[in-house]
Amino acid sequence: MTIVFDRSVPEGERRWMRALIRRCATVYGFETWEFRVACRRFRGKQLAECTVKAMASIAEITIHPARLADRALARADLLHEMWHLLDDELLATLSDLAAHIQNPLRRARAYRRAYRRYEAWHDRPARIVGGLL
């Protein structure tokens, strides 16, 4: 596992970020991935983003620098972005579960509803699990 920090990430924050990324990667089974972490300001209300390049096994995580002032919020944001590594596997699972529905419109609707529920759900555990990791 490789964790690369951009110069925009303060030195004092790198240690706990590295530890959290290592723990999550181990739990999720992404030990061979490369993680690139950066800080930058976003437009609007966006606080963080994760770009997953599954073919190259690279995850680029970007966090809003203002969130680093409160470590609990920064941990929740980082953990939330790490959850996105599981999205591809979840999408495949939801697709398999919806495959038994014969009507294509109903199948698409069931898939969308399940994915929306997952999106709403994965905000909550980030705060809870952040305290455990």
Single-letter code of the amino acid located at 34: E
> Could you tell me the residue ranges of all domains in the chain?
2-132
Whether the per-residue pLDDT at 132 is higher than 60: the answer is no
The tens digit of pLDDT for each residue in 6-53 reads 999 999 999 999 999 999 899 888 899 999 999 999 888 777 888 888
Instruction: Give pLDDT, residue 125.
Output: 63
Instruction: Give pLDDT, residue 15.
Output: 95
Q: Of 97, 133, 132, 104, nearest to 118 (Cα)?
A: 97
The tens digit of pLDDT for each residue in 79-128 reads 888 888 887 778 888 888 888 899 999 999 998 898 888 877 776 665 56
Mapped to the 3 state alphabet, what secondary structure does the chain carry? CEEEECCCCCHHHHHHHHHHHHHHHHHHCCCCCEEEEEECCCCCCCCEEEEEECCCCEEEEEECHHHHHCHHHHHHHHHHHHHHHHHHHHHHHHHHHHCCCCCHHHHHHHHHHHHHHHHHHCCHHHHHHHHHC
Token pair of 1, please? 């596992």
Instruction: Give pLDDT, residue 126.
Output: 58
Instruction: Give pLDDT, residue 17.
Output: 94
